A and B are shown apart, each in its own frame.
Chain A
């Protein structure tokens, strides 16, 4: 089976940097995704890592270590609109996408 762990909740200050971690145990790993989901809305794609290393996209960066089964999402220059749930998802096995339970981030002034 697949096991994906991420913190349930985090709080950070506007303008700061926050790192959301995700650890996974899976067979047939084929990529890791991060999605953002605002309350009552659809998840939207943020980033994709399939090789080890850092992928940077504006204020958001994502890191992957396949040997450690570990990823993080780094959000810089936090804004109030970044308050949302962040979902870590692993593609594995028969190309299914398995999601963690999500990390609810609250940005405070």
Chain B
């Protein structure tokens, strides 16, 4: 059974810092991995999707990398802003027909 772990559980940084959020998974035979953002009391916003054949994906100040062999993904946020404050969730899909397995998330607070 796939298990997804996110470290740290919470992170507080001053505005402008570059930061890295970590996601690890126990079964390396994944189909794809997706990073989401969730604002308090809201639904999830998809940030990046990495297919199993890819090493990284970039969108604006966000860069996600994938190392299947070690069961790890990282989400890099450059030049953080207060508007980046949210919970970031990592989710793994094990096959084209399977469902997503979510980590518990990293709660990020960027202070002005």
Bound pair: A and B?
no
Binding site for A on B (CB under 8 A): none
**Which residues in A have some Cβ–Cβ distance to B below 8 Å?**
none
